[in-house]
Amino acid sequence: MALPDRKPMLQVEGIKKYFPIEKGLFRRVVGQVKAVDDVELEVRQGETLGLVGESGCGKTTLGRCIVRAIEPTEGRILLRLDGDRMTDLLQLGKQDLRAQRRHMQMIFQDPYSSLDPRKTILDIVAQPLRANRMGSPSEIEDRVRDLVELVGLNVESLIRYPHAFSGGQRQRIGIARALATNPRIVIADEPVSALDVSVQAQILNLLQDLQAEFDLTMLFIAHDLSVVEHVSDRVAVMYVGKIVETAETEELYLHPLHPYTEALLSAVSVPDPDIGQDHMILPGEAANPADLPSGCYFHPRCRYAEDRCRTETPAWTEARPGHFARCHFAGELELTGVDA
């Protein structure tokens, strides 16, 4: 359920992340890889915004830019820290940023490489609390015990090391670590893609329960639209570094406005053998972010492309209330969705 009456917790304005292409003995810059290209995004307090797209479209890079794990090339990242005041994280110096890092945490994709194998679970979950000096040693240990129980693990697990746990259990530990500092926003970077399907359901249900209990604000990054539909209030679709569509989850699944979204939705499996599915196969490969096509980036793969799509960059348009798309024909095409 979308939360239109809530204030924005995070606003991303014009974020770009370009990686230089260097060549020759003197490392001369001969081009740019436009991994994130002028992204505008808003996440409201207490909602989950799903960010979807093909592998390599820039989702993870955007998430890491938001928490400044990597530095954006340009733009603004506004986070609500006090009341109505929005703070631009890109204007903070090293010391000020360190003080604010506890307000934004990440859940990483790979539960096997995101936990230090040399540390116990107690030390792993306590690390952000100790780094931010949030309590005495006994208070930190009590907090860790509460978090571990909250995510469905036994307190006896605290003295064990990551190798003793399954993938799903490790991801629960990662979730506990992310929640340790009571962050204002959590960036979940494909948190279930490395897990078995049955374990995925457990982790997704856990995230939903935690969001309901703590009113969490979350950016949920994934490439599986069936997973995103399960947890998200709104969905943003990304293609080659740009957001091409965003809407409330049910609205986007039923009435897509962008041909790329229609293609992604056609790949969502329907759990009914009596329903035939027509999976849409996109021709060619995703555009090369180092050599982008003119006009609409999607036009070489789009079945609806016309001459203007090859020469004119489409504007960001609100074709329906709260439903935006970057397409010259948004609202005019009869695109096929799925029953959300």
pTM exceeding 0.85? yes
Please give the pLDDT value at position 1: 54
Asked if the model's pLDDT at residue 194 lies above 50, the reply is yes
Distance CA 47, CA 236 (A): 13
List, for residues 317-334, the tens digit of each pLDDT value: 999 999 999 999 998 999
Q: What is the pLDDT at residue 137?
A: 93
- Average the pLDDT over each of 95-109, 182-196, 204-218, 277-291 and give the range with the smallest value: 277-291
Structure confidence at residue 340 as a pLDDT band (50, 70, 90): very low
pLDDT tens sequence across 204-226: 999 999 988 888 999 999 988 88
What mean pLDDT comes out for the span 132-148?
94
Per-residue HEC secondary structure of the chain comes to: CCCCCCCEEEEEEEEEEEEEEEECCCCEEEEEEEEEEEEEEEEECCCEEEEECCCCCCHHHHHHHHCCCCCCCEEEEEEEEECCEEEEHHHCCHHHHHHHHHHEEEECCCCCCCCCCCCCHHHHHHHHHHHCCCCCHHHHHHHHHHHHHHCCCCHHHHHCCHHHCCHHHHHHHHHHHHHCCCCCEEEEECCCCCCCHHHHHHHHHHHHHHHHHHCCCEEEEECCHHHHHHHCCEEEEEECCEEEEEEEHHHHHHCCCCHHHHHHHHCCCCCCCCCCCCCCCCCCCCCECCECCCCCCCHHHCCCCCHHHHHCCCCEEEEECCEEEECCCCCCCCCCCCCC
Number of residues that this document lists for the chain = 340
The model's pLDDT over 98-123, given as tens digits with 9 standing for 90+, comes to 888 899 999 998 888 999 999 999 99
Q: Tokens in use for 321?
A: 């209330």
* pLDDT at residue number 212: 87
pLDDT of residue 282: 84
pLDDT on residue 147 = 94
Contact 261, 252 (CB under 8 A): yes
- Flag whether pLDDT at 307 surpasses 80: yes
Query: For residue 4, is pLDDT > 70?
Result: no
Mean of pLDDT values over 151-159:
92
> What integer pLDDT is reported at residue 197 of this predicted model?
83
